Amino acid sequence: MVGQTSRNERMNATGQSIFPDRIRAAFAFAGSQLRRLVTEHPDYFPLYTENGKWKHESEAWTNWCEGFLGGMLWILYRQTGDAWWREQAEHYSRLIEHRKTDRNVHDLGFLFLPTWKAWYELTQDSAKNQVVIDAGKTLALRFQPKGRYLRSFVAPDSLFIDIMMNVGIIFYAAQQTNDSKLWQVATDHCLTTRRFLVRGDGSTAHEGLFSADTGEFVQQTTHQGWRNDSSWARGQTWALYGFTTAYQFTQDERFLDTAERCAKFYLDRTPAHGIPPNDWEEPEPRRPYESSAAAIAAAGLLELARTVSESAKADYYRERAFAILATLMRPEFLASETPGWEGILKHGIYHERKGLGVDESVMWGEYFFLVALDKALADLEAP
């Protein structure tokens, strides 16, 4: 088990911060793992490793991860300026363009924000932006007017907390096209999620079920957590980060308050090293860690730090995020000293109940780890 991460761990003997060097080393390792993945398995979009290997035939449950590989390739291009990464990033973005009309998943934000939006930001090419807008409009078609939420991939009566990380692409499409109906869909979805999936103590439920006939809320349930009334760690971090994004778009204080309450629950319930189990309520978790939730939390906390107006709060969120990253960069989590392991970050969990990707590397954990490292480096190097 890992111990507490101290501030000293980020300093060398002369009191100089070694954190940026550790981040650059982690990026270099991530680059070598990703170069091998795209070279050895071209055009392959893995979700999770099995015994540390990306290539296997185990089920996906749902196809939601195809943007994370391209997203990492864009980050590596920005970090290194190496044209090879850009070539790969463009290629892996093109491979998913057709998904902009995919009505089977609720994950179009996960697919298009890390890829085509990153491409647009670099080039300012309106054709790239149009792909993002189209994807946002497709996602909005999942709106259920009676319950006022975007339905999950599972069924029309199902709302997932995960969708909070995708609704941003609808806000974005609405903003770009000045479409007030799209804006309302995104806002209503956030308000419904806040009301029915975020609890009074700041914890979250994975899923809400509604009456398809009337839109009446029926109950909280879970797929990937321990039980219906428990707190699935990754869902908590989707909410923390997602409500921060919703606030950034809307300036609606209700969303910032929700993001902060979700952050507080995460930080209060997680040991100082920053890595939660799969579910905080499970009496004896089968595994001590769900590292992908920690990576998402670190990225979300760094974004929250940039969003809150009080500097003391911002410093607190940034410090907690750095503590999480310091833990994730240790060899127990970073696979740099684990020969033969093909992922970047160990000890992630996809779907414990189904036995999919348990104690493995997971594609979204890799992506949000790089997002968090990228943000941390920018913060540390800011003048």
Q: Which is nearer to ligand GLY, 237 or 244 (CB)?
A: 237
Shortest distance, position 162 Cβ to ligand GLY, whole Å: 5
Q: Which is nearer to ligand GLY, 78 or 287 (CB)?
A: 287
The string of DSSP codes covering 220-238 is EE-SSSSSTTS-BHHHHHH
The yes or no reply on residue 162 touching ligand GLY (CB under 6 A) is: yes
Could you tell me the two tokens for 217?
A: 């809320």
Site for ligand GLY in 334-353 (CB under 6 A): 350
Q: Taking CB under 6 A as the rule, which mask of x and - marks residues 73-102 in contact with ligand GLY? A: ------------------------------
Q: Which is nearer to ligand GLY, 119 or 368 (CB)?
A: 368
Helix/strand/coil for 152: coil
The CB density around residue 109, as the number of other CB atoms within 10 Å, is 28
- Separation of alpha carbons 168 and 185, rounded Å: 11
Shortest distance, position 248 Cβ to ligand GLY, whole Å: 21
Q: Determine contact, residues 368/292, Cβ cutoff 8 Å.
A: yes
Q: Taking CB under 6 A as the rule, which mask of x and - marks residues 33-72 in contact with ligand GLY? A: -------------------------------x--------
Q: Which is nearer to ligand GLY, 38 or 105 (CB)?
A: 105
**Size of residue set near ligand GLY by CB under 6 A:** 5
- Separation of alpha carbons 150 and 190, rounded Å: 9
Q: CA torsion sign, 70 to 156 to 248 to 232?
A: negative
Q: Which is nearer to ligand GLY, 243 or 350 (CB)?
A: 350
- Separation of alpha carbons 203 and 235, rounded Å: 9
What is the CA angle 212-215-219, rounded to 5?
Answer: 85
Cα dihedral angle (265, 270, 275, 278), rounded to 10 degrees?
-70
Shortest distance, position 148 Cβ to ligand GLY, whole Å: 22
Site for ligand GLY in 304-333 (CB under 6 A): none
Q: Which is nearer to ligand GLY, 68 or 322 (CB)?
A: 68
User: What are the start-end ranges of the H helices in the chain?
Assistant: 19-40, 66-80, 83-94, 108-112, 118-123, 126-140, 168-177, 180-197, 233-250, 253-269, 291-307, 311-328, 363-381
Site for ligand GLY in 226-245 (CB under 6 A): 234
The yes or no reply on residue 158 touching ligand GLY (CB under 6 A) is: no
Q: Which is nearer to ligand GLY, 48 or 119 (CB)?
A: 48
Which listed residue (5, 144, 187, 224) binds ligand GLY by CB under 6 A? 224
Question: For binding to ligand GLY (CB under 6 A), which residues are involved?
Answer: 64, 162, 224, 234, 350
